[in-house]
Structure 1
Amino acid sequence: MSFSLYEAIIPTMIQMLNAGQNWIENCKSCGQSEDDLAQARLHEDMLPFAYQVKSMVVHSVGAIEGVRKGSFSPDLEEYPVELEKMRLNLGAAENTLRALSKGEIDSFIGGETRFVFEQKGIDIPFASEDFLLSFSQPNFFFHATTAYAILRMKGLDVGKTDFMGRLRIKRD
């Protein structure tokens, strides 16, 4: 059985983006202030919840855009702090990924994508598939896990099945 780059990345990102929208929906009725949640951190030297949510979008849709352009740079724009805006951004990213074709994603194999962070003098060449699998996908999961952990730390009633979202089960 062959396994494609598309199948290795896109369906799971869609699953997690959808789960993230549900986490945020749970935030709306948790009794905590929107600002308190948006600015919550696991540790003082880590970026806040709102940044973690933004980074899920950056390392999914933004990564695909970077591969298309052949260059990916950190998104240094401000991140939204309103829960509904965060939820909508995750939803827009999910919809964008759903619209991608398997053929386009698989056509990235063998291409080149550079990670460029000019302010720090960083320019790292990757094969496009390695950029997606070894850089963006781990970053995506780091930020998703951190966002979820922040919500757990803040006392939200979400568990492992909430983190995982809707599983892609075999249908007879």
Structure 2
Amino acid sequence: MSAPLYDFSVPLFIRGLNALSHIIKKGEEYANEKGNPLSELLEWRLAPDMKPLSFQVQTATDIAKNSITRIAGTEPVVMEDNETTIEELQARIARTIELLKAADASQFAGKEDAQITFKTGPREHVMTGQSHIRNFALPNFFFHLSIAYAILRSKGVSIGKMDYLTSFLTEA
């Protein structure tokens, strides 16, 4: 028998967002040390046609908060995607973590086979709760987390694998 969806999602989202907060802080310290305007940090990207760091943070938080509301059947919490400072991005991460911590595990019980319908752009997707977490939410979340890490690393921020993994190695 598999563990409840809550156990496979909420704690991982929280740990991932803690890692994201940590590497963003390291990016802020690097920018300050190098005399780079912090506003530039939010616009860093891996390639000209890729979305910037701010988008990666916004998307990772959206995936986490939207996934829990889809599974639990609660009202979505809207965030405007209008952060223009590091402090605002950190506040968004913290707010998302608080939403995740407030999630009621009992609302996830038995939702493995429940139908979840959601849109990404113009496409509508229909999945079970389990496939939503396993095949969409977690891979998508970790993609944006990894891209944020890669953006910072590519710009010279002194972060390593343990900056990413430490949050996952501690018991919450």
Deviation of 1:93 (Å): 1.0
Tell me what 1:134 maps to. Answer: 135
Gapped regions of structure 2 (runs ≥ 5): none
String of CA shifts for 1:107-156, please: whole Å, max 9, x gaps.
42221111224x63x22211122112211111100000000110101111
Deviation of 1:59 (Å): 0.7
Partner Cα distance (2:126, 2:52) in 1 = 29
Q: Which amino acid aligns with 2:11?
A: P
Are residue 112 (structure 1) and residue 95 (structure 2) matched? no
The range that moved more, 47-56 or 10-19, is 10-19
Q: How does 1:29-48 map to 2 (within 5 A)?
A: 29-30=29-30, 31=32, 32-48=36-52
> What is the number of equivalent residue pairs in this alignment?
166
CA RMSD, Structure 1 to Structure 2 (Å)? 2.5
Checking the alignment, whether the CA contact within 8 Å between 1:70 and 1:114 is kept in structure 2 is no
TM superposition score normalised by structure 2: 0.84
Tell me what 2:126 maps to. Answer: 125
TM superposition score normalised by structure 1: 0.84
Are residue 165 (structure 1) and residue 144 (structure 2) matched? no
Checking the alignment, whether the CA contact within 8 Å between 2:58 and 2:81 is kept in structure 1 is no
Checking the alignment, whether the CA contact within 8 Å between 2:12 and 2:168 is kept in structure 1 is no
Tell me what 1:150 maps to. Answer: 151
Moved over 6 A (4+): none
Tell me what 2:66 maps to. Answer: 62
Counterparts in 2 of 1:79 and 1:51: CA distance versus 1, 3 Å: farther
Checking the alignment, whether the CA contact within 8 Å between 2:56 and 2:147 is kept in structure 1 is yes
Tell me what 1:24 maps to. Answer: 24
Tell me what 1:14 maps to. Answer: 14
- Is the helix fraction higher in 1 or 2? 2
String of CA shifts for 1:31-58, please: whole Å, max 9, x gaps.
2322211111111221110000001111
Partner Cα distance (1:134, 1:63) in 2 = 12
Match of 1:91 among 91, 94, 97: 94
Partner Cα distance (2:103, 2:74) in 1 = 17
String of CA shifts for 1:43-96, please: whole Å, max 9, x gaps.
122111000000111110122123344999xx8954413111111111111121
Deviation of 1:15 (Å): 0.7
Counterparts in 2 of 1:85 and 1:169: CA distance versus 1, 3 Å: closer
Q: Which amino acid aligns with 1:34?
A: L
Q: What is the SS of the residue equivalent to 1:29? A: helix
